[in-house]
Amino acid sequence: MTLPENDAYRLGVVPKNAELVYSKDGTLIADVSDKEPDNRLLRYVLVGDTFVNANLIQQGHASALDTPPEIPLI
């Protein structure tokens, strides 16, 4: 999931994200890549039965970015 970097979009997603996660126990699941190029952590967020990332996308507050995983070479 990726969020546009403009304030209008961010102002819309912050209240919705807070509604889904604030004061709730959740689980953060790391992706194959731990961080984005600008060092922001990449995590899947689960709160109860709600997949927060997917919910924000479905509600139009975020968009998915399909990129191949960075698989470490052995």
- Please report the pLDDT score of residue 47 as a whole number: 97
**Span 14-71, pLDDT tens digits:** 888 899 999 999 999 988 888 877 788 889 999 999 999 999 989 888 888 777 766 6
Task: Kindly state the tokens that stand for 12.
Answer: 């819309």
φ/ψ of 52, rounded to 5, equals -60, -45
Residue 32 lies in a domain: yes
User: How would residue 10 be classed by pLDDT, with cut points 50, 70 and 90?
Assistant: low
- Please report the pLDDT score of residue 13 as a whole number: 83
Residue 39 lies in a domain: yes
- Please report the pLDDT score of residue 58 as a whole number: 92
Count how many domains the chain has.
1
Question: For tokens 């995590």, what's the residue?
Answer: 43
Residue 26 lies in a domain: yes
Paired strand residues for 73: none
The per-residue DSSP string of 54-67 comes to HHHHHTTS-B----
Residue 20 lies in a domain: yes
Task: Kindly state the tokens that stand for 70.
Answer: 């960075």
Query: Could you tell me the residue range of the domain that residue 34 belongs to?
Result: 7-58
